[in-house]
Amino acid sequence: MALYGGIEAGGTKFVCAVGTGPDDLRREVRFATGTPDESIAQAVAFFRDAETAYGRLAAAGIASFGPIDPDPASETFGYVTTTPKPGWAHTDFAGQVRRALGVPVGFDTDVNVAALGEFRWGAAQGLDTFIYLTVGTGIGGGAMVNGRLVHGLMHPEMGHIRIPHDRTADPYAGWCSYHGDCFEGLACGPAIAARWGVPATELAPDHPAWDLEVEYLANGLVSLMLPISPQRIVMGGGVMEQTHLFPRIRRRVQELLNGYVQADAIVNEIDGYIVPPALGNRSGVLGAIALAELAATG
Amino acid sequence: MALYGGIEAGGTKFVCAVGTGPDDLRREVRFATGTPDESIAQAVAFFRDAETAYGRLAAAGIASFGPIDPDPASETFGYVTTTPKPGWAHTDFAGQVRRALGVPVGFDTDVNVAALGEFRWGAAQGLDTFIYLTVGTGIGGGAMVNGRLVHGLMHPEMGHIRIPHDRTADPYAGWCSYHGDCFEGLACGPAIAARWGVPATELAPDHPAWDLEVEYLANGLVSLMLPISPQRIVMGGGVMEQTHLFPRIRRRVQELLNGYVQADAIVNEIDGYIVPPALGNRSGVLGAIALAELAATG
């Protein structure tokens, strides 16, 4: 059975794994994200070591923080592009891994790859159009439409949509350094912490912080659902580990839509429509392995 | 050369045409939308008449007001579903046309079909991921992603996304009977008329109504662009016949994005990114002919 390598490259940490799927992860490593040279060398060393133990990898997949160039037809395919992260702008991430390992390398955004992981083995199996949204230190979304991941002009940046912000109810100006009170600016983990002066994890489930969070997340979801018409929305990330949010978000989404979209999945079966990731916090690294599978088979 | 029939079925009027494309429209008719029986009979009679003159149609395409069922795998494919429009709920629109004419019939939303028209012969030629947005008596959007029209759970309903609404600057509660101040509720033609007490067409280009309209349209566009990552946005409909809006919307979209999406198309070439339909107000009926082509070739 062909063996694959996956890299989930985040702004703060790398997760690398070798295996064939969720029930067969042979080896995994996590390390803090350093310079591109350091981090890519560490990942490559991990894979080479695993190859010594388990045999050759057939391909690798990379789920990368962005912005990136995920267009295989582009000259800068596989690059991290204009990121403000020191040292990483204009880094040929996929190319370096490909040359070091000598195998095909798939490359996409962290959230598209997490969506792919949930599609391959998780909460989006059998669907062709769905959204994977992560709410944590930022908000990001990946999407599959008609069975293929969405890229378009560049790649979706779902965290930065504009949503209603009642400054009377919530005078906080927002966390986003580009847009202030965009969706991410109002609803990501650091925005909660900055607004209330304590980390989100320390706020009890009945704290008014969560009323506001439900309002923003439900407004954001509605504005993501209506353009894409997903068959399901998978919500992961650190903030969504507050599982009490799920029933409240579902109810508020129904209220906001107010019967406009007459689909059973929303009107009658919303508990199965807005769901946590079935792969927990491993959607990304498992998605990278699923992306490697695709890269291997062309 | 195969001849096709197209129906653009709107809530107030039907446009039917026979031809092979924009340079070869043999015959066209417009009539007020009546009951389903009346309107479908009128369309069928028009096509039969045209067949007598020009020969058999190879297929027909329908661009329908909604909500509809556009899923060919569904038992109610081709139906107008839960519309409040009297008489039209649960009407087997495509089936009646197919049985009457004895040809394959394509069926999709008015806005998806207009998108297809612009893709086939208009402002979206050569793209694989784009949005067609109409701003008129309502706001609706169709989208193509990776070369295929978006349906998902049902079909996009882009007019009903949530956008910021500063009630101090604009106390108007919004036109939408479902959501009040959603995108359509704030920015459709009837909302402009209700807010200012005169039809939008009578407002001079320097009227403050347009400042507000630009703000809402730019906010809506940003929230549609970020999830879908279109390579272009085509904006049609009655309100967009106010062509002075285009440069103002483009500038405001750039301001709102604030350099976050570093794509040339947006940062440097936005005049070619947010554009009017190349087919004018015939994107819909020509799109219906393009849809018929697809139906004929399976």
Residue by residue, DSSP assigns B111-146 as HHHHHHHHHHHSTTTT-SSEEEEEESSSEEEEEEET
Q: Is the pLDDT of residue A83 over 90?
A: no
Cα–Cα distances in angstroms (integers) from residue B164 to residues A229, B229, B254, in the given order = 21, 21, 17
Cβ-Cβ contacts under 8 Å, A259 against chain B: 178
A69: enclosing H helix or E strand: none
- Of B82, B179, B263, Cβ closest to residue A153: B263
Residue A142 and residue A113 in contact, taking contact as beta carbons nearer than 8 Å: yes
Residues 6 or more apart whose CB falls under 8 angstroms from that of B298 comprise: B104
Note the pTM of the prediction, 2 decimals.
0.97
The tens digit of pLDDT for each residue in B63-91 reads 999 899 999 999 999 999 988 889 999 99
Buried/exposed B207-234: b ≥16 CB within 10 Å, e otherwise: eebbebbbbbbbbbbbbbbbbbbbbbbb
Which of the 8 DSSP states describes residue A68? B
Say yes or no to pLDDT of A298 above 80: no
Residue A11 has pLDDT above 80, yes or no: yes
| CA–centroid distance for A291 within its chain | 14
Six token digits for residue B118? 């612009």
Within 10 angstroms of residue B248's Cβ, the number of other Cβ atoms is: 18
Whether the CB-CB separation of B278 and B122 falls below 8 Å is answered with yes
CA dihedral (B199, B243, B239, B173) in degrees, to 10, reads -80
Cα angle at B129 between B126 and B134, to 5 degrees? 100
Q: Which of A131, A160, A215, A273 to mutate to test the interface with B (most CBs of B within 10 A)?
A: A160
For the residues A127-131, what does the mean pLDDT come to? 98
**Range A94-109 burial, b when 16+ CB lie within 10 A, else e:** bebbbebbebbbbbbb
Q: How far is CA A3 from CA A31, A52, A201, in A?
A: 22, 12, 38
- What three-state secondary structure class fits A79? strand
Q: What is the nearest CA distance from B179 to chain A, expressed in angstroms? A: 7
Provide the pLDDT for residue B84. Answer: 84
Residue range A168-184, pLDDT digits in tens? 999 999 999 999 999 99
**pLDDT score, position B1:** 80
Cβ–Cβ below 8 Å for B153 and A178 = no
Residue ranges for chain B with pLDDT beneath 70:
none
Measure the CA angle with vertex B78, ends B296 and A221; round to 5°. Answer: 115
Distance CA B270, CA B81 (A): 38
Q: Which amino acid appears at position B111 of this protein?
A: V
Per-residue burial over B46-59, b if 16 or more Cβ lie within 10 Å, else e, is bbeebbeeeeebbb
**Burial category of A294 from C-beta neighbours within 10 Å (exposed 0-12, middle 13-18, buried 19 and up):** middle
Task: Please state whether the peptide bond connecting residue A84 to the residue before it is cis, i.e. omega within 30 degrees of 0.
Answer: no
Cβ pair A213, A245 in contact under 8 A:
yes
Contacts of B145 in chain A (CB under 8 A): 145-146, 148, 150, 152
Residue B30 one-letter amino acid? R
Question: How, if at all, do strands B233-236 and B274-275 pair?
Answer: parallel
pLDDT score recorded for residue A1: 80
Instruction: Identify from B162, B225, B269, B270 which residue to disrupt to test chain A contact, counting A C-beta atoms within 10 A and taking the largest count.
Output: B162
The span from the CA of A297 to the CA of A286, in Å, is 17
Is a pLDDT exceeding 80 seen at residue A88?
A: yes
**ipTM associated with this complex:** 0.96
Look-up: residue for tokens 């440069």? B247
Closest CA to B83 of B72, B93, B95, B91: B91
Residue of A152, A132, A95 lying closest to B130 (CA atoms): A152
Distance from CA of B150 to the nearest CA of A (A): 7
Please give the interface size between A and B, counted as residue pairs whose CB atoms are below 8 Å apart.
159
Written as one letter, the residue type at B183 is: F
Complete edge-to-edge strand list for the sheet that includes strand B274-275: B148-149, B139-145, B130-135, B233-236, B274-275
What is the identity of the amino acid at A101?
A: L
Radius of gyration, alpha carbons of chain A: 19
User: Which of A153, A222, A266 lies at the smallest CB-CB distance from B161?
Assistant: A222
Q: Quick check: B151 and A162 CB within 8 A?
A: no
- Does the structure show a pLDDT above 90 at A205? yes
The rounded Cα B186 to chain-centroid distance in angstroms is 18
